[in-house]
Amino acid sequence: VGRTLARSGAPLRIGELATRTGTTPRTIRYYEEIGLLPGGDHERGKHRVYSDRDIERLRELTRLRDHLGLTLAELRALVEAEDARAALRERWHRTHDPVERRAIAREALRHLAVQLDLVRSRKAALAELERGFVAKRRQVQRILRELEAEAQV
């Protein structure tokens, strides 16, 4: 096994993390500043170092930001809820009490329902936009066909 480019699991620097997530180093530092991302585990003045888990985390954040239009304050609230759920998963693994486990699972379902509602209402709005464009297009196409039929004669 020789050298491999982009070896999975290898630590990343901020530039790599940025290109892999479609953002910029500035954005990453800003998110760290406002508490949306961990500090890449660095001392002041030294280079930040990230892991594969950070790639996933940042990708998730940018997706929610771009596709659901969440503000960074909303994202931060969401991340805090996420951390709370991570703590729940911890408890899940430590307990074997089925009553507690059911409560944890139901909590997870409620959270997923909220996310799904957001995604679906945005999708519905986009679908409406799409319908409008398609209707206009159909109308123009009909007119164009008529003009071309006329030209045939």
Contact call for residue 89 and its own copies (CB under 8 A): no
Report how far residue 88's alpha carbon sits from residue 126's, in angstroms, rounded to the nearest whole number.
35
In the list 26, 47, 89, 101, the residue contacting its own copies (rule: CB under 8 A) is 101
Contact call for residue 77 and its own copies (CB under 8 A): no
Q: In angstroms, how far is CA 22 from the centroid of its own chain?
A: 12
Task: Provide the token pair at 85.
Answer: 């759920």
**Whether the Cβ atoms of residue 32 and residue 39 lie closer than 8 Å to each other:** yes
- Backbone angles phi and psi of 42, in degrees to 5: -125, 150
In the list 10, 22, 26, 69, the residue contacting DNA (rule: CB under 7 A) is 26
Q: Which does 151 bind (CB under 5 to 8 A by kind): DNA, its own copies, none?
A: its own copies
What angle, rounded to 10 degrees, do the helices at 25-33 and 14-21 form? 100
In 4-146, the DSSP E strands lie at none
Give residues in contact with DNA (CB under 7 A).
13-16, 24-27, 29-31, 34, 40, 42, 44-48, 65, 71-73
User: For binding to its own copies (CB under 8 A), which residues are involved?
Assistant: 63, 66-69, 98, 101-102, 105-106, 108-109, 112-113, 115-116, 119-120, 122-123, 125-127, 129-130, 133-134, 136-137, 140-141, 143-144, 147-148, 150-151
